Amino acid sequence: MKKVTSWAAIIAVPTAITGFYGQNLPYPGFGQASGVWVSTAAILVISATLYALFKRRDWL
């Protein structure tokens, strides 16, 4: 059950970020290539951090 919860939390991060900014809301850096890269970097960093945290606590 811990493994399923861990993977669900990791998958929830990109879903939440892209879902929030996909609602016709201007995201930081809207209309610029840097905005896309910043949100992509945020998704990768947060997901990697959660993965490392769950791996260290032996949930994965």
Tracing tokens 């890269």 back to the chain, one arrives at 37
Give the pLDDT score at 38. Answer: 84
pLDDT at 58 over 80: yes
Looking at residue 4, what is its pLDDT? 92
Would residue 32 be called left, alpha or beta, if left means φ above 0 and alpha means ψ between -120 and 50 degrees?
Answer: beta
4-52, pLDDT tens digit by residue?
Answer: 999 999 999 888 888 877 767 777 777 787 878 888 898 899 999 999 9
Q: Which two tokens stand for residue 17?
A: 């970020």
Q: Which two tokens stand for residue 12?
A: 């929830």
Whole-structure pTM value: 0.78
For 21, the domain range is 2-56
Query: How many separate domains does the chain show?
Result: 1
